[in-house]
Copies of this chain bind each other. A is one copy, B any other.
């Protein structure tokens, strides 16, 4: 394996995008110009081989792409414009070669280019067992325009920004048939949803630009879990109507029970769930239509004990705050 110096040289970006960048990789820390018109947004997440990804369902390119996508999704959920990212990779002494590491960075880079994000720091270290990727992302949002989970209020409309369950469906296919199977077109859409998810930055920006009281959360752990986070943070009841949840054509080819599990608890679709005041709903829909973005009412907010109620076929049940980790069950 290359030494650390050679590795760092290989990941220094050939070009940069952000005009606020002063110094990226190469000194003790990166520097960028602050801006009083904006709020800075930052988060750090770690993904571990065997828990968040496995080589039998994700190529290194997908691992990098999706790791960054998951972090960008957190920025989207704040209404932010992505700006910078830093990556720390702990590489096992066995089982990963230089070409695969490069491919992980290429995966991140493909997505970063799309959002004009600059890679400005991080490091690489070695471990004895599994690959660990820590990514810090930064973004910014106009002053006072950030969108919190705690903004929901009685009477609000609950919305989502796209189909749910596809990623979980794709994972099931991959676990069953592997990376090299010759999938049909329908299956490919599910697999792509799992391997190359699209964070909803554009939607976050539309909602932030509206200036309305919007609550927002990204659906990384399944809508059941994320809706509960909004309920808790806003101290309200979230009512979800199952029949309104969006499912792809591909997902509709699967049996009901499987589908429901994926849609409610699957996670990793990286759509957004949020709320807006009822009076603003038509305005938001209009803005989304203009931008070619999907938005769908899936329920409403009620006063009361913070919890999530799922309405399905005229029955109501409390939806627990749980997601499922596909790999954990195997341990």
Which A positions have Cβ atoms within 8 angstroms of B? 22-23, 26-48, 50-52, 73-75, 77-78, 80, 84, 86-88, 90, 120-123, 125-130, 132, 134, 136-141, 143, 146, 148-150, 216-218, 233
Contact = CB atoms under 8 A, between A and B. Distances in A.
Contact of A34 (B35, B45, B88, B122): B35
A140 B36 CA distance: 13
A48 B134 contact: no
B34 A140 contact: yes
Contacts of A149: 27-28
A39 B45 contact: no
8 contacts: A27-B148, A30-B43, A34-B39, A44-B44, A48-B90, A86-B136, A127-B132, A128-B130
A138 B28 contact: no
A315 to B, nearest CB: 28
A22 B45 contact: no
A46 B123 contact: yes
B41 A31 contact: yes
Given A27-B78, A28-B77, A136 B36 contact: no
A contact patch SS: strand
A202 to B, nearest CB: 16
Per assembly, the copies of the chain total 2
B35 A31 contact: no
A86 B44 contact: yes
A148 B23 contact: yes
A43 B22 contact: no
Contacts of A23: 146, 148
Contacts of A233: 26-27
A324 to B, nearest CB: 14
A24 to B, nearest CB: 10
A139 to B, nearest CB: 8
Nearest to A134: B134
A130 B30 CA distance: 28
Nearest to A84: B42
B42 A38 contact: no
Nearest to A37: B34
A95 B89 CA distance: 23
Given A29-B78, A136-B136, A217-B28, A46 B130 contact: no
Contacts of A90: 46, 48, 132
Given A22-B39, A128-B130, A123 B44 contact: yes
Contacts of A84: 42
A26 B172 CA distance: 31
Contacts of A78: 27-29, 31
